[in-house]
Amino acid sequence: MRYPPARRRRRWPLRTLGLLATVALLGSGAAIAYMVMPEKDHGAAATAPPSPKAKAVHHPAGLTKAQKRARRAAVAVLAADGYEPARLDDWHPKANVNVLVGRDEQGAMRAFFFSGGDFLGHDDAATSNDIRVAKFHKNAVTLSYGVSTGGREKVTFALADGDVAPATPVPPSTVR
């Protein structure tokens, strides 16, 4: 059966519109997937040259029994506050300041700082949606905060006089 010529002309614009709608749907799905997939910044920290004032601390392949015991004690501090560690590999036993990023049941994150087995405090009074350990030094650690603009802000926390303090302000809780 042949369609009249007027009807045949109306099919191509509808097909084109359907194709464009499919491309838009797939593109938005890819954009959403790109936003929620975790970043892999392992290479960024390794290629950046260390500052001349701070020596980078290298993480050993395995921990000794004493180092594992210290890490378990730190994990117990997190658990007492209702958090579990996001990554145990963030524990660097030879650093003077150590950090474990904890995540609670709702997914909120908070950094816990330790030195010599003692709990020193948190990165901020409020929790964050996304925190990662970006870089370690002997007396400092740099945290990377995911912010609402889609980027990341880095803040270095340094150990001084038995206390950990940020070198620059932590991003406000309204954007992280």
Q: Where are the domains of the chain?
A: 1-37, 41-166
Residue 158 has pLDDT above 60, yes or no: yes
Instruction: Check residue 49 and give its pLDDT.
Output: 41
Residue 18 CB coordination number (10 Å): 10
Residue 100 CB coordination number (10 Å): 23
Q: Note whether 163 and 151 are within 8 A (CB).
A: no
Choice between 138 and 133, residue whose per-residue pLDDT is larger: 133
> What 3-state DSSP class applies to 14?
helix
Mean pLDDT of the chain: 83
Output the six-digit token pair for 66.
Answer: 């004493």
Q: Is 0.85 topped by the overall pTM?
A: no
Angle at 133 between CA 79 and CA 171, to 5 degrees: 95
Instruction: Check residue 52 and give its pLDDT.
Output: 42
Which alpha helices (DSSP H) does 4-162 contain, by range?
A: 5-36, 42-47, 65-80
pLDDT digits (tens, 9 = 90+) for 93-133: 888 999 999 999 999 999 999 998 899 999 999 999 999 99
Give the pLDDT mean for 45-74: 64
